[in-house]
Amino acid sequence: MARKRRKFPHGHRLISSLGPAILAIPALAQAGPASAPAGPGELASLPRLAEVDPRFLSYNVEMVEVTGGRFWAPYGGPPDEMYRMRPPEDLTNRRLRALTRHLGPSYMRVSGTWANTTYLEAPGENLSAPPAGYRQVLTRAQWQGVLAFARAVNARIGTSFAVGDGTRGPDGVWRNDQAQRLIDLTRQSGGEIAFAEFINEPNAAGLGGLPKGYGVKDYTRDFALFLKWARKAAPDMRIIGPGGVGEGAGLDRIPVAVRENLLLTEKLMEASPGTLDGVSYHFYGAVSQRCKGSSIGIADKDSALEPSWLDLTLRDWRYYSGLRDRFEPGDDIWVTETAQAACGGSPWASTFLDSFRYVNQLGLLAQKGVKVVFHNTLAASDYALIDRDTHQPRPNYWAAVLWKRIMGTTVLKAPASPSVQVRLYAHCLTGTRGGVGLAALNIGEAHQSLDAPSGADVWTMTAEPIDSAQVKVNGKRPELAADGALAGLKPIRAKGSIALPARSITFIAVRGVRNAACKS
């Protein structure tokens, strides 16, 4: 099944609490125990490490958000409630569109576990229940709504396809009828699917609606059929995969009931080497309370700023990038699903406390050359960037906006840090030739400072308490203005030294340093 690797144009490359006075002037010089130089000379000489996709910071919209259905239940209900019925997301909502537009350009992955068993209606169909072998119904109008939303927010769409019992004949072999229908509807509606994973999380077959007993031979057979179909039906659609999850921690951490049904990513890639346009995987460092019966482990709030938690993302990167090097050498690597914790996120996933994980993860994975990182989700459950019911942006949303505005596609080696409690990341500055953007995470309880050229623009994120769902930027609450613009994000101009308050995230834009790696 090996084939000559295709080349893609550039556009397709796979991107303690503080007193009120301090909050009001977080970017001005403050006394601190240490300071590290980040002057023009050092910033100008930072070497290039990697290049990420212009849509590096991307997000997921679960298929069940589009169709409506049982998704992760909000906290506060019955103790054993895991799921709750939710209506379809209103993708025409002006506030949701306005907020999402500020995250562009991006990829929007419409997938998730529910996509494996979703039926797309044929023209003229109006079903009251899914056909046999399916669990949800996607109407044609709903998918057209996805396409319209993507156009409105400068997003390119990715997806995965239905693979459950309903897509199979008596012989159990996958058929492409539903996949072809989705491609046809997308094309007829003036849209495009930029990339696809065949199956959402195939190594968790028992959870994803695949046929009972589905194994490596079945996947290999079906993937060959899928690949042949996709190259003909949608030749410009990138094939990304396999999209495995949870294997970097070792199979001993996976529940026995799940482990018995695993299709190990290693085996799937070994059976079909050299066939992908990019390698993808999903990462969750733990599960939420909703899945407390799992042996994977519940996310610990008290450990949210510990290096052992923040660096977990590298564990799975090492595992899946190793598989990439063995079976798909030279391919881009994407993280197509990640968040604070699986099963909808912990209660603190919606607070500033999780923004340290999010920004740190973006910084680490960019340094490792991961091309795109998809946050789960845009607007569903506790780990969402935007609250589904109120459409209020959460702290991670503001972190994402600042990252997009400051951290460009060229990844640089970070300058020296003033403390082990301060994590620094450096990129070429977005949209500014020769400039450098910095992200500084102070995870400690002491103030720090960073020397920087006078005139640098600074945005410092803080919250009181740190697990608040409300964040301040330079001491002010950011918000969406009536005209769709974002307000409250005015930078403070540095005067030689930048304060890094305790337990804060600071973004810094330094123009005119003429870094040789930042010429474009």
pLDDT at 127: 97
pLDDT at 71: 95
- Mind listing the pLDDT tens digit for each residue in 240-276? 999 999 898 866 666 666 555 568 999 999 999 999 9
Q: How far is CA 129 from CA 119, 138, 273, 429, in A?
A: 10, 11, 39, 51
Q: Which of 79-83, 136-140, 218-222, 465-469 has the lowest mean pLDDT?
A: 79-83
Q: Cα–Cα distance between 415 and 90 in angstroms, integer? A: 44
Q: Which of 71-80, 354-363, 430-439 has the lowest mean pLDDT?
A: 71-80
Whether 44 shows a pLDDT value over 60: the answer reads: yes
pLDDT at 496: 79
Q: Which sign does the torsion angle of CA 37, 41, 43, 45 carry?
A: negative
Residue 133 has a CB neighbour count (10 Å cut-off) of: 15
pLDDT at 80: 86
pLDDT at 1: 43
Tokens of 449: 């400072």
pLDDT at 285: 94
Residues of the chain above pLDDT 70, percent: 89
Q: What is the mean pLDDT of residues 423-449?
A: 97
- Mind listing the pLDDT tens digit for each residue in 80-99? 899 999 999 999 999 999 99
The structural domains of the chain, ordered by start, are 16-47+413-510 (2.60.40.1180), 57-409 (3.20.20.80)
Q: Which of 62-66, 132-136, 206-210, 217-221 has the lowest mean pLDDT?
A: 206-210
- Mind listing the pLDDT tens digit for each residue in 100-141? 999 999 999 999 999 999 999 999 999 999 999 999 999 999
**Helices (DSSP H) in 45-199: which residue ranges?**
63-67, 94-101, 140-153, 177-188
Residue 300 has a CB neighbour count (10 Å cut-off) of: 13
Which has more confidence, 251 or 381? Answer: 381
